[in-house]
């Protein structure tokens, strides 16, 4: 999005820690599947396996955090702002009949040990139980890629997201986006904070907006692959020098298909419910980013930030109830 900002001010540098994804064991489990099982996994879970296998540039994510604008909930660069966009995605039914029996409780936290889950699909593969194998492998992706949090366990938040995908066909995309906003918001509050969110999705989004590619990819992950070599750039230097005219604002596969969350009942902007917090984003910036005109500056009310962490927070409880009612 264009901007009339003055000369670029020297930015404060934030020390951050990037949580690396431990996917080597997932790759080993993936090798147990042949082509037919990979096709079955893709049919049930679309492209989350491809997302889990993306090699994320830690330098890119660390550099990106320096540009997060906390009040506006966006990334502010030299002469433009860039905002992750919430899109509505189709999901399919999954089955997890044995999941409840595997839950454990430690210090009041419901969880499933990673070691236990990684042993289970190996036994299922030996027995030829590929449908159950795929479900457990998908749960591992939910717990350690989409909703990574505590090392060594799949926590209750990831389990709930997985079950919501099964029971109510709820897309995890909104929760992933909310967790990303919450992560960067925490970084603004505490230098040295660890970046804990779905970094593969964030990295794909970043690469595809900063690098152009030939041809017409059919999905973001395919587009990322076309730009993979370009994604090995010096990210700190690139982000400091990039201008709005060079950004790939509207990836080709979105043409005529993007659905943006632009309002939510009586809220001045849009609240997103994640696994750790409810946090807002600004639809005005997202709509402008998709090529629609912005008539004047956004109102102060429309960019007023709010956040509720944990459902013990009164506002957190309100959002939880609103989500239950389908608000």
pLDDT at 47: 85
Burial class (CB within 10 angstroms; exposed 0-12, middle 13-18, buried 19+) of 178:
buried
**pLDDT > 90? residue 30:** yes
Lowest mean pLDDT among 5-19, 136-150, 162-176, 272-286: 5-19
Upper half-sphere CA count for residue 321 (Cβ side, 13 Å): 7
**199 and 106 Cβ atoms separated by less than 8 Å:** no
**Domains in the chain: how many in total?**
1
pTM for the model: 0.79
What confidence tens digit (pLDDT) does each residue in 195-207 have?
A: 888 899 999 888 8
Residue 59 domain-assigned (yes or no): yes
* Domain with 147 in it: 17-262
Decide if 250 is inside a domain: yes
- Alpha-carbon distance values, 259 to 256, 286, 300 (Å): 9, 11, 25
In a domain, 321, yes or no: no
Per-residue model confidence (pLDDT) at position 31: 93
User: Residue 147 domain-assigned?
Assistant: yes
Residue 149 falls within a domain, yes or no? yes
Look up residue 60 and give its two tokens: 């890119």
């Amino acid at each position: 999005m264009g901007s009339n900002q003055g000369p670029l001010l020297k930015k404060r540098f934030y020390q951050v820690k990037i949580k690396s994804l431990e996917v080597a064991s997932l790759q080993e489990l993936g090798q147990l599947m042949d082509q037919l099982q990979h096709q079955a996994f893709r049919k049930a879970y679309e492209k989350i396996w491809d997302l889990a296998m993306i090699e994320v540039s830690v330098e890119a994510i660390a550099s990106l955090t320096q540009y997060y604008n906390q009040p506006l909930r966006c990334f502010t660069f030299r002469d433009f702002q860039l905002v992750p966009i919430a899109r509505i995605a189709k999901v399919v039914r999954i089955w997890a009949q044995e999941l409840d029996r595997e839950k454990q409780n430690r210090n009041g936290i419901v969880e499933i040990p990673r070691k236990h889950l990684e042993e289970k699909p190996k036994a299922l593969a030996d027995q030829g139980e590929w449908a159950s194998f795929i479900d457990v492998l998908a749960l591992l992706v939910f717990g350690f890629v989409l909703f990574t949090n505590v090392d060594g366990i799949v926590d209750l938040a990831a389990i709930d997201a997985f079950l919501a995908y099964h029971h109510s066909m709820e897309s995890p995309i909104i929760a992933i986006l909310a967790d990303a906003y919450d992560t960067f918001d925490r970084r603004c509050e505490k230098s040295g904070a660890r970046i804990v969110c779905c970094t593969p999705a964030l990295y794909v989004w970043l690469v595809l907006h900063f690098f152009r590619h030939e041809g017409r990819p059919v999905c973001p992950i395919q587009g990322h692959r076309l730009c993979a070599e370009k994604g090995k750039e010096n990210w700190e230097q690139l982000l400091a020098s990039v201008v709005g005219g060079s950004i790939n604002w509207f990836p080709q596969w979105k043409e005529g298909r993007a659905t943006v969350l632009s309002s939510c009942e009586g809220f001045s902007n849009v609240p997103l419910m994640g696994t750790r917090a409810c946090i807002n984003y600004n639809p005005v910036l997202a709509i402008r980013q998709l090529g629609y005109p912005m008539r004047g500056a956004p109102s102060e009310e429309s960019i007023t930030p709010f956040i509720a962490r944990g459902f013990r927070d009164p506002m957190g409880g309100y959002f939880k109830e609103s989500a239950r009612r389908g608000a």
